[in-house]
Structure 1
């Protein structure tokens, strides 16, 4: 469902004209940095942005572009630091505030992301991205009605964006309103049938409704469309467990963990695997901690109890 993973970060471009002043020099360094970033060389890009900042330490656009280079390197702390500086020197810098909010979300700083969403709503209440990030931050804080309201408003401002319908459907899934979620997914598919998160979410709904074979077909379609998402493989592994194909399932769950070692759902699924294999020690190794840390996670309590009874 993650639209934020596909948002293209727009770099700021400055054209150099006239005499070779500091103003034009810093613009050239900015452009050289952008060229390196376009060549997938963010480290060199950062060097050029620093050259621009050596000429003008209050150059907000250079801080912004440098932050985007750090983001490409998955250096979230550095990304946030540079965005803070961009906003310090340009307080109404909408895109910098938006990207900082996104970085806060990725960094687990959900309350700060919500603060940036509130700031964006004041700056530009007619921009769909203001409501999008508001919805994302409320989702992370498990305030689902507010999250749904944010995504709905974003969708009214950008009705052709299928991802925003998938976002709404995801919240409805969390609320166990499966019928309404499925109806939104139909609309999203009409706009963009190749959206992988749509098919993954549909698979999750089908699994909850007991249609495991259909869930497997749907998540396989998601993987065909995007083979880089760890949680797709983890979901496929879960469905294979319930289709009595445990060894295939374990291989996929392990693959998911290798891709993303922070996903508790993958460790839950591995615990379920060991319960199904009758391995009490290994099952409890995974499920005991999850039962304490994520007591409301689907299937955790059920399989923790089964592991204890082995």
Structure 2
């Protein structure tokens, strides 16, 4: 898998990895475009050339055009209903498009054709996890591991799923196994660090985030996650340095702004803390998301400031909070961190599939 994290925040729980049949690693964009031109010419001569349709679909997918890829894979399946590779690739493309129910149908059809296909099983498991069927996901991943015990991806996916089920200890066991099989994968170290952090094992969490950053130095999610762990340890200087480094690469990173607000408030720098929380809330607004967490933390920071003016602002912010009535999208740790408590860090459902 490519080891990519989410670009914002510190990486949601979790980036489940699906099939890697479509990657065509090693081809440049220019080579792909030349190949597409050749396939277009062949298909003008024979529109029912299933091999060329499949190849063209894979190239479209490599370019990130999953809609056109899906159209080509669908045409192959119309010509050859039992074409397992076309089913596999269409399922993955549909998953990337967010068409998860259709993707699951393709994986179901593929597994009926090839019940011992471990890749199809762990790919369907990733799809089921994104649909919220965590028990079904674990069942598929257990089967995939039984079939291919030396493949790290199903261990990683099962670890993510256990984490989402609220069992970070079992998640940690799976991430350990994935790392034993693929020790240079930064994603595995990142999410093992998240599991350690959830368990309160902060030194181990920081160590894993350190490793992830050595393997992928520009990983903002790992740097942000390490900063959060350092806030929880009370190491505010180090946390500030990490948050600043995240923001140097991504000025609009609302999670890093919020975290820096916590760290600044811990030093008594309440005005800058308020500024960071306010900026974070505005950036979330630009993404057309409502946020309770910005107003809540602004209010808490104002309260910690202790002045009468801040108290008046706090009351205003709390009334604003009462009017918002929405989910806390900035992460469950932040409000408690403002109060100086060590929070539990929740796991969120996957929003994108990684590629093997």
Quote the Cα distance in structure 1 between the aligned partners of 2:221 and 2:330: 15
Matched, 1:285 2:278: no
Quote the Cα distance in structure 1 between the aligned partners of 2:104 and 2:37: 32
Matched, 1:273 2:260: yes
Corresponding residue for 1:25? none
The answer to whether the Cα contact below 8 Å between 2:58 and 2:69 also exists between their aligned partners in 1 is yes
Quote the Cα distance in structure 2 between the aligned partners of 1:203 and 1:65: 39
The answer to whether the Cα contact below 8 Å between 1:290 and 1:300 also exists between their aligned partners in 2 is no
Quote the Cα distance in structure 2 between the aligned partners of 1:239 and 1:284: 22
Partner of 2:57, secondary structure, is helix
Corresponding residue for 2:60? 70
Change (3 A) 1:281 1:91: same
Quote the Cα distance in structure 2 between the aligned partners of 1:229 and 1:71: 25
Shift of 1:268: 3.5
Shift of 1:108: 1.6
Stretch deviating more after TM superposition (62-71 or 229-238): 229-238
The answer to whether the Cα contact below 8 Å between 1:68 and 1:79 also exists between their aligned partners in 2 is yes
Q: Which has the bigger relative contact order, CA under 8 A and spacing at least 6? A: 2
Which is richer in helix?
A: 1
Corresponding residue for 2:243? 250
The answer to whether the Cα contact below 8 Å between 2:103 and 2:127 also exists between their aligned partners in 1 is yes
Stretch deviating more after TM superposition (189-198 or 52-61): 189-198
Corresponding residue for 1:184? 174
Partner of 1:41, secondary structure, is helix
**Which of 173, 189, 200 matches 1:199?**
189
Q: Which digits, 9 at most, give the CA deviation of each residue in 1:78-134, with x for residues without a partner?
A: 222222222222211111111111112222221121111111121111111221121
**Which of 129, 151, 161 matches 2:141?**
151
Corresponding residue for 2:206? 216
Quote the Cα distance in structure 2 between the aligned partners of 1:255 and 1:8: 36
Matched, 1:302 2:335: yes
Q: Which digits, 9 at most, give the CA deviation of each residue in 1:208-251, with x for residues without a partner?
A: 12233321220221233345755334433433554313443334
The answer to whether the Cα contact below 8 Å between 1:104 and 1:112 also exists between their aligned partners in 2 is yes
Quote the Cα distance in structure 2 between the aligned partners of 1:191 and 1:302: 38
Q: CA RMSD in A?
A: 3.3
Shift of 1:64: 1.3
Partner of 1:130, secondary structure, is helix
Shift of 1:51: 1.1
Q: How do 1:1-310 and structure 2 match up within 5 A?
A: 4=17, 7-9=20-22, 37=27, 41-227=31-217, 231-242=221-232, 243-244=235-236, 245-254=238-247, 267-277=254-264, 278-279=273-274, 280-286=277-283, 289-291=290-292, 294-295=327-328, 298-299=331-332, 302=335
